[in-house]
Amino acid sequence: MRCKITLCFDFARQARIARRTIKNSAQRALQGAVLMLCVVFPISGAALSQTAPSLAKSPIPPNCTPLRDDFTSFPNYEVWDKPRLQGQTAYHTEDKVVREGTRALAITVSGGDELDVEGNLKHELWENRHKWCRFGEEVYYAFSFRIHSNTRPAGSTRWVIGQWKEQSGGSPFLAQRFDNGVFHITVQHNDTRLLVAKASGDYQRDFKQFVNELKQLLLLDQHGFRRRDDNKRNSDEALTPGLTLNELKEAIAKQDTNKFPFLTEPQSFAATEAVKIELSDTPDLPNPAKGWVDMVYRIRGGTDGSGLIEIWANGVFIARVSGAIGNVAKDGVRQYFKFGHYRDFDRKDLDATLYLDRFRRTTDPTELFVKPTAP
Protein backbone atom coordinates (compact mmCIF):
# COMPACT_ATOMS: atom_id res chain seq x y z
CA MET A 1 0.00 0.00 0.00
CA ARG A 2 1.19 3.51 -0.79
CA CYS A 3 0.48 6.37 1.60
CA LYS A 4 1.26 10.04 1.74
CA ILE A 5 2.84 12.23 4.42
CA THR A 6 1.32 15.65 4.69
CA LEU A 7 3.64 18.16 6.39
CA CYS A 8 1.82 21.25 7.55
CA PHE A 9 3.42 24.39 8.87
CA ASP A 10 1.02 26.36 11.05
CA PHE A 11 2.54 29.82 11.24
CA ALA A 12 -0.06 31.01 13.72
CA ARG A 13 1.11 28.42 16.26
CA GLN A 14 4.67 28.21 15.00
CA ALA A 15 4.36 24.43 15.19
CA ARG A 16 4.90 21.56 12.82
CA ILE A 17 2.18 18.95 12.47
CA ALA A 18 2.77 15.59 10.80
CA ARG A 19 -0.09 13.53 9.48
CA ARG A 20 -0.57 10.37 7.40
CA THR A 21 -3.23 10.31 4.69
CA ILE A 22 -4.49 7.51 2.41
CA LYS A 23 -4.05 7.82 -1.35
CA ASN A 24 -6.74 9.86 -3.09
CA SER A 25 -7.33 11.85 0.13
CA ALA A 26 -5.19 14.81 -0.78
CA GLN A 27 -8.13 17.09 -0.17
CA ARG A 28 -7.43 16.80 3.59
CA ALA A 29 -4.39 18.94 3.01
CA LEU A 30 -6.74 21.85 2.49
CA GLN A 31 -7.75 21.79 6.18
CA GLY A 32 -6.72 24.83 8.17
CA ALA A 33 -6.00 26.85 5.04
CA VAL A 34 -5.69 30.11 6.98
CA LEU A 35 -2.07 30.76 7.95
CA MET A 36 -1.15 27.18 7.08
CA LEU A 37 1.01 25.77 4.28
CA CYS A 38 0.81 22.04 3.51
CA VAL A 39 3.06 19.96 1.26
CA VAL A 40 2.23 16.33 0.28
CA PHE A 41 4.99 13.72 -0.23
CA PRO A 42 4.17 10.19 -1.54
CA ILE A 43 5.85 7.44 0.46
CA SER A 44 5.76 3.63 0.48
CA GLY A 45 4.48 1.61 3.42
CA ALA A 46 7.94 0.11 4.06
CA ALA A 47 9.55 3.51 4.21
CA LEU A 48 6.74 4.69 6.45
CA SER A 49 7.46 1.97 9.02
CA GLN A 50 11.09 3.04 9.11
CA THR A 51 10.34 6.72 9.68
CA ALA A 52 7.55 6.31 12.26
CA PRO A 53 9.83 6.48 15.34
CA SER A 54 10.84 10.01 14.39
CA LEU A 55 7.26 11.09 15.07
CA ALA A 56 7.31 9.75 18.64
CA LYS A 57 8.03 11.81 21.75
CA SER A 58 11.66 12.53 22.53
CA PRO A 59 13.20 9.86 24.77
CA ILE A 60 13.54 10.67 28.47
CA PRO A 61 17.15 10.83 29.70
CA PRO A 62 17.98 7.74 31.81
CA ASN A 63 19.38 9.75 34.71
CA CYS A 64 17.99 12.66 36.72
CA THR A 65 19.97 15.84 36.28
CA PRO A 66 21.29 17.10 39.63
CA LEU A 67 19.55 20.29 40.76
CA ARG A 68 20.62 22.76 43.43
CA ASP A 69 19.27 26.08 44.67
CA ASP A 70 20.38 28.14 47.69
CA PHE A 71 18.08 31.02 46.69
CA THR A 72 20.76 33.69 46.69
CA SER A 73 18.70 35.04 43.79
CA PHE A 74 15.28 34.10 42.47
CA PRO A 75 13.98 32.72 40.22
CA ASN A 76 16.55 30.21 38.98
CA TYR A 77 15.01 28.94 35.76
CA GLU A 78 17.55 26.13 35.52
CA VAL A 79 15.74 24.56 38.48
CA TRP A 80 12.18 25.91 38.45
CA ASP A 81 9.57 26.11 35.72
CA LYS A 82 9.43 29.60 34.28
CA PRO A 83 5.82 29.57 32.96
CA ARG A 84 4.50 28.69 36.42
CA LEU A 85 6.12 31.76 37.97
CA GLN A 86 5.06 34.44 35.52
CA GLY A 87 3.26 37.29 37.24
CA GLN A 88 3.54 35.72 40.70
CA THR A 89 3.80 38.12 43.63
CA ALA A 90 3.71 35.47 46.36
CA TYR A 91 7.45 34.71 46.12
CA HIS A 92 10.36 36.72 47.49
CA THR A 93 13.82 36.07 48.84
CA GLU A 94 14.33 36.55 52.56
CA ASP A 95 17.54 37.55 54.35
CA LYS A 96 16.37 37.35 57.97
CA VAL A 97 14.68 33.92 58.13
CA VAL A 98 17.48 31.80 56.67
CA ARG A 99 18.60 28.23 57.28
CA GLU A 100 22.09 28.66 55.88
CA GLY A 101 23.88 31.21 53.73
CA THR A 102 22.52 34.66 53.02
CA ARG A 103 18.98 34.14 51.73
CA ALA A 104 16.00 31.78 51.64
CA LEU A 105 12.81 31.73 49.59
CA ALA A 106 9.53 32.85 51.16
CA ILE A 107 6.19 31.78 49.65
CA THR A 108 3.17 33.55 51.10
CA VAL A 109 -0.53 32.74 50.92
CA SER A 110 -3.43 34.78 52.26
CA GLY A 111 -7.17 34.49 52.36
CA GLY A 112 -7.52 37.38 49.94
CA ASP A 113 -5.50 35.73 47.16
CA GLU A 114 -7.15 34.80 43.88
CA LEU A 115 -8.52 31.26 43.82
CA ASP A 116 -7.80 28.81 41.02
CA VAL A 117 -10.54 27.33 38.82
CA GLU A 118 -11.24 24.66 41.46
CA GLY A 119 -11.61 27.19 44.26
CA ASN A 120 -8.24 26.48 45.89
CA LEU A 121 -5.40 28.69 47.08
CA LYS A 122 -2.29 27.67 45.18
CA HIS A 123 1.24 29.10 45.17
CA GLU A 124 3.71 26.37 44.18
CA LEU A 125 7.16 26.02 42.68
CA TRP A 126 7.34 23.42 39.92
CA GLU A 127 10.53 21.70 38.85
CA ASN A 128 11.79 22.71 35.42
CA ARG A 129 9.62 20.58 33.12
CA HIS A 130 12.61 19.80 30.89
CA LYS A 131 14.38 18.16 33.83
CA TRP A 132 11.67 15.92 35.23
CA CYS A 133 12.91 12.47 36.25
CA ARG A 134 11.62 9.19 34.93
CA PHE A 135 9.09 7.59 37.30
CA GLY A 136 10.75 4.56 38.87
CA GLU A 137 14.26 5.99 38.68
CA GLU A 138 15.82 6.33 42.13
CA VAL A 139 16.48 9.90 43.21
CA TYR A 140 17.14 11.80 46.45
CA TYR A 141 15.64 15.14 47.47
CA ALA A 142 16.85 17.31 50.34
CA PHE A 143 15.64 20.70 51.48
CA SER A 144 15.07 22.77 54.61
CA PHE A 145 11.74 24.41 55.32
CA ARG A 146 9.65 26.02 58.02
CA ILE A 147 6.22 27.63 58.18
CA HIS A 148 4.87 30.68 59.93
CA SER A 149 1.22 31.57 60.28
CA ASN A 150 -0.54 34.17 62.39
CA THR A 151 -3.79 32.21 62.33
CA ARG A 152 -5.19 29.50 64.54
CA PRO A 153 -4.84 25.84 63.46
CA ALA A 154 -6.56 25.15 60.18
CA GLY A 155 -9.25 22.80 61.42
CA SER A 156 -9.69 19.97 58.94
CA THR A 157 -8.64 22.09 55.96
CA ARG A 158 -6.51 20.29 53.36
CA TRP A 159 -3.09 21.88 53.14
CA VAL A 160 -0.38 20.32 50.95
CA ILE A 161 3.07 21.90 51.37
CA GLY A 162 5.15 19.70 49.05
CA GLN A 163 4.33 16.86 46.65
CA TRP A 164 5.71 14.44 44.10
CA LYS A 165 3.39 13.57 41.24
CA GLU A 166 3.46 11.37 38.19
CA GLN A 167 2.93 12.91 34.78
CA SER A 168 -0.83 12.97 35.25
CA GLY A 169 -3.56 14.79 37.06
CA GLY A 170 -3.84 12.18 39.83
CA SER A 171 -3.09 12.54 43.52
CA PRO A 172 0.56 12.84 44.59
CA PHE A 173 2.22 9.50 45.26
CA LEU A 174 4.19 11.23 48.04
CA ALA A 175 3.15 14.39 49.87
CA GLN A 176 4.00 16.66 52.77
CA ARG A 177 0.84 17.96 54.40
CA PHE A 178 -0.09 20.45 57.12
CA ASP A 179 -3.80 19.72 57.65
CA ASN A 180 -5.01 21.04 60.99
CA GLY A 181 -1.57 22.51 61.66
CA VAL A 182 -0.02 19.03 62.02
CA PHE A 183 2.93 18.22 59.74
CA HIS A 184 2.53 14.74 58.27
CA ILE A 185 3.58 12.68 55.25
CA THR A 186 1.40 10.47 53.05
CA VAL A 187 1.94 8.03 50.19
CA GLN A 188 -0.61 6.95 47.61
CA HIS A 189 -1.30 3.88 45.48
CA ASN A 190 -4.14 4.51 43.02
CA ASP A 191 -7.09 5.62 45.18
CA THR A 192 -5.63 4.41 48.48
CA ARG A 193 -3.81 6.95 50.65
CA LEU A 194 -1.69 6.00 53.66
CA LEU A 195 -0.36 8.05 56.54
CA VAL A 196 3.36 7.37 57.00
CA ALA A 197 4.51 9.73 59.76
CA LYS A 198 3.39 12.79 61.69
CA ALA A 199 4.67 15.43 64.05
CA SER A 200 3.71 15.01 67.68
CA GLY A 201 0.55 16.78 68.68
CA ASP A 202 -2.96 16.82 67.31
CA TYR A 203 -5.06 19.93 67.80
CA GLN A 204 -8.54 18.37 67.78
CA ARG A 205 -7.67 15.36 69.92
CA ASP A 206 -5.46 17.32 72.32
CA PHE A 207 -8.05 20.03 72.83
CA LYS A 208 -10.70 17.44 73.63
CA GLN A 209 -8.28 15.76 76.04
CA PHE A 210 -7.56 19.10 77.71
CA VAL A 211 -11.27 19.84 78.14
CA ASN A 212 -11.96 16.37 79.53
CA GLU A 213 -9.10 16.64 82.01
CA LEU A 214 -10.25 20.09 83.05
CA LYS A 215 -13.75 18.75 83.69
CA GLN A 216 -12.31 15.91 85.75
CA LEU A 217 -10.20 18.31 87.83
CA LEU A 218 -13.22 20.55 88.49
CA LEU A 219 -15.30 17.53 89.51
CA LEU A 220 -12.60 16.26 91.88
CA ASP A 221 -12.21 19.75 93.33
CA GLN A 222 -15.95 19.93 94.05
CA HIS A 223 -15.76 16.67 96.00
CA GLY A 224 -12.51 17.53 97.79
CA PHE A 225 -10.55 14.74 96.06
CA ARG A 226 -8.25 16.87 93.94
CA ARG A 227 -4.55 16.08 94.31
CA ARG A 228 -2.43 18.80 95.84
CA ASP A 229 -0.05 18.89 92.87
CA ASP A 230 -2.76 19.07 90.21
CA ASN A 231 -2.58 22.87 90.16
CA LYS A 232 1.09 22.64 89.16
CA ARG A 233 0.41 20.86 85.90
CA ASN A 234 0.87 23.02 82.83
CA SER A 235 -0.97 22.99 79.52
CA ASP A 236 1.87 21.15 77.74
CA GLU A 237 1.34 18.17 80.03
CA ALA A 238 -2.40 18.27 79.44
CA LEU A 239 -1.83 18.38 75.69
CA THR A 240 0.33 15.25 75.47
CA PRO A 241 -0.74 13.24 72.40
CA GLY A 242 -1.06 10.04 74.44
CA LEU A 243 0.03 7.40 71.89
CA THR A 244 2.91 5.14 72.87
CA LEU A 245 5.38 4.03 70.20
CA ASN A 246 3.70 0.63 69.88
CA GLU A 247 0.25 2.22 69.73
CA LEU A 248 1.46 4.58 67.02
CA LYS A 249 2.96 1.75 64.96
CA GLU A 250 -0.26 -0.26 65.30
CA ALA A 251 -2.41 2.73 64.30
CA ILE A 252 -0.20 3.36 61.25
CA ALA A 253 -0.29 -0.32 60.28
CA LYS A 254 -4.11 -0.35 60.47
CA GLN A 255 -4.48 3.21 59.12
CA ASP A 256 -6.81 3.87 62.04
CA THR A 257 -7.94 7.40 61.21
CA ASN A 258 -9.79 7.62 64.54
CA LYS A 259 -6.35 8.04 66.09
CA PHE A 260 -5.54 10.85 63.65
CA PRO A 261 -8.60 13.13 63.43
CA PHE A 262 -6.56 15.95 61.86
CA LEU A 263 -6.59 14.07 58.55
CA THR A 264 -8.81 15.43 55.80
CA GLU A 265 -10.66 13.02 53.53
CA PRO A 266 -10.34 10.11 56.01
CA GLN A 267 -12.33 7.96 53.60
CA SER A 268 -9.26 7.95 51.31
CA PHE A 269 -7.07 6.25 53.91
CA ALA A 270 -6.92 2.48 54.18
CA ALA A 271 -4.41 -0.23 54.97
CA THR A 272 -3.36 -2.41 52.04
CA GLU A 273 -1.09 -5.43 51.71
CA ALA A 274 0.38 -3.82 48.61
CA VAL A 275 2.18 -1.18 50.72
CA LYS A 276 4.40 -1.81 53.76
CA ILE A 277 5.26 0.97 56.22
CA GLU A 278 8.10 0.49 58.69
CA LEU A 279 8.55 3.13 61.39
CA SER A 280 11.83 3.68 63.19
CA ASP A 281 11.93 3.88 66.97
CA THR A 282 12.08 7.68 66.63
CA PRO A 283 9.23 8.25 64.15
CA ASP A 284 7.98 11.69 65.21
CA LEU A 285 8.47 14.41 62.62
CA PRO A 286 9.71 17.82 63.83
CA ASN A 287 7.25 20.68 63.95
CA PRO A 288 8.03 23.18 61.14
CA ALA A 289 6.01 25.84 62.97
CA LYS A 290 8.68 25.87 65.69
CA GLY A 291 11.81 26.03 63.53
CA TRP A 292 13.69 24.81 60.49
CA VAL A 293 13.21 21.18 59.47
CA ASP A 294 15.82 19.46 57.28
CA MET A 295 14.16 16.80 55.13
CA VAL A 296 15.78 14.08 53.02
CA TYR A 297 13.75 11.71 50.83
CA ARG A 298 14.90 8.65 48.92
CA ILE A 299 12.30 8.08 46.20
CA ARG A 300 11.74 5.23 43.77
CA GLY A 301 8.22 4.97 42.44
CA GLY A 302 6.82 1.62 41.35
CA THR A 303 3.22 0.58 40.82
CA ASP A 304 4.34 -3.04 40.32
CA GLY A 305 5.50 -3.41 43.94
CA SER A 306 9.07 -2.22 43.40
CA GLY A 307 8.48 1.20 44.97
CA LEU A 308 10.63 2.45 47.84
CA ILE A 309 10.60 5.64 49.91
CA GLU A 310 12.86 6.43 52.85
CA ILE A 311 12.51 9.53 55.00
CA TRP A 312 14.92 11.42 57.25
CA ALA A 313 14.16 14.56 59.28
CA ASN A 314 16.83 16.62 61.01
CA GLY A 315 19.31 13.81 60.43
CA VAL A 316 17.08 11.16 62.07
CA PHE A 317 15.70 8.20 60.11
CA ILE A 318 11.89 8.30 60.32
CA ALA A 319 10.32 5.63 58.12
CA ARG A 320 10.55 3.32 55.13
CA VAL A 321 7.74 2.60 52.68
CA SER A 322 7.93 -0.25 50.17
CA GLY A 323 5.60 -1.90 47.69
CA ALA A 324 3.14 -0.48 45.17
CA ILE A 325 3.64 3.28 45.12
CA GLY A 326 2.03 5.44 42.46
CA ASN A 327 -0.96 5.61 40.16
CA VAL A 328 -1.40 3.07 37.38
CA ALA A 329 -3.36 5.54 35.26
CA LYS A 330 -1.04 8.31 34.09
CA ASP A 331 -0.27 10.37 31.01
CA GLY A 332 3.49 9.81 30.72
CA VAL A 333 6.60 8.18 32.16
CA ARG A 334 7.93 11.11 34.15
CA GLN A 335 7.47 12.53 37.65
CA TYR A 336 7.95 15.99 39.12
CA PHE A 337 8.21 17.85 42.42
CA LYS A 338 6.21 20.85 43.62
CA PHE A 339 6.73 22.91 46.78
CA GLY A 340 4.51 25.59 48.23
CA HIS A 341 0.93 26.12 49.33
CA TYR A 342 -1.94 24.09 47.95
CA ARG A 343 -4.92 24.35 50.29
CA ASP A 344 -8.65 24.71 50.47
CA PHE A 345 -10.00 28.19 51.01
CA ASP A 346 -11.68 28.47 54.40
CA ARG A 347 -11.32 32.02 55.70
CA LYS A 348 -10.26 35.53 54.76
CA ASP A 349 -7.89 36.07 57.70
CA LEU A 350 -5.41 33.41 56.54
CA ASP A 351 -1.81 34.67 56.34
CA ALA A 352 0.92 32.04 56.15
CA THR A 353 4.46 31.89 54.80
CA LEU A 354 6.53 28.86 53.84
CA TYR A 355 10.30 29.27 53.85
CA LEU A 356 12.51 27.07 51.65
CA ASP A 357 16.30 26.79 51.70
CA ARG A 358 19.13 24.43 50.65
CA PHE A 359 17.22 22.59 47.91
CA ARG A 360 19.04 19.59 46.40
CA ARG A 361 18.15 16.82 43.94
CA THR A 362 20.71 14.09 43.32
CA THR A 363 21.19 10.38 42.65
CA ASP A 364 24.18 10.23 45.04
CA PRO A 365 23.12 9.96 48.72
CA THR A 366 26.66 10.66 49.97
CA GLU A 367 26.13 14.28 48.95
CA LEU A 368 23.34 14.49 51.53
CA PHE A 369 25.13 12.71 54.39
CA VAL A 370 22.54 9.95 54.67
CA LYS A 371 22.94 6.20 54.33
CA PRO A 372 20.19 4.17 52.61
CA THR A 373 18.73 1.53 54.92
CA ALA A 374 17.43 -0.85 52.23
CA PRO A 375 18.66 -2.06 48.80
CB contact at 8 A, 10 and 38: no
Max mean pLDDT range (10-24, 270-284, 340-354): 270-284
Q: Cα 18 from chain centroid?
A: 36
How much is the pTM?
Answer: 0.75
Q: Is residue 111's pLDDT more than 90?
A: no
> What average pLDDT score do residues 112-128 get?
90
Tens of pLDDT, residues 323-337: 999 999 887 899 999
Domain regions of the chain by residue span: 2-55, 67-199+245-368, 203-240
367: number of CA atoms within 13 Å, CB side? 17
The answer to whether the beta carbons of residues 159 and 343 sit under 8 Å apart is yes
pLDDT at 241: 53
pLDDT band at 90 (very low <50, low <70, confident <90, very high): very high
One-letter-per-residue 3-state SS of the chain? CEEEEEEEEECCCCEEEEEEEECCCHHHHHCCCCCEEEEEEEEEHHHHHHHHHHHCCCCCCCCCCCEEECCCCCCCCCCECHHHHCCCCCEEEECCCCCCCCCEEEEEEECCCCCCCCCEEEEEEEECHHHCEECCCCEEEEEEEEEEECCCCCCCCCEEEEEEEECCCCCCCEEEECHHHCCEEEEEECCEEEEEEEECCCHHHHHHHHHHHHHHHHHHHHCCCCCCCHHHCCHHHHCCCCCCHHHHHHHHHHCCHHHCCCCCCHHHECCCCCEEEEECCCCCECCCCCCCEEEEEEEECEEEEEEEEEEEECCEEEEEEEEEEECCCCCCCEEEEEEEEEEECCCCCCEEEEEEEEEEEECCHHHHCCCCCCC
Compute CA distances 221 → 38, 209, 213, 226, whole Å. 91, 18, 12, 5
Residue 269 has pLDDT above 50, yes or no: yes
- Return phi, psi of residue 251, to 5°: -65, -40
Classify domain 67-199+245-368 by CATH architecture.
Sandwich (2.60)
For residue range 135-155, list pLDDT tens digits in order: 999 999 999 999 998 665 555
Q: What is the pLDDT of residue 137?
A: 95
**Does residue 14 carry a pLDDT above 70?**
no
Query: Average model confidence (pLDDT) for the chain?
Result: 78
Could you tell me what percent of the chain has a pLDDT over 70?
69
Is the separation of the CB atoms in 16 and 3 below 8 Å?
no
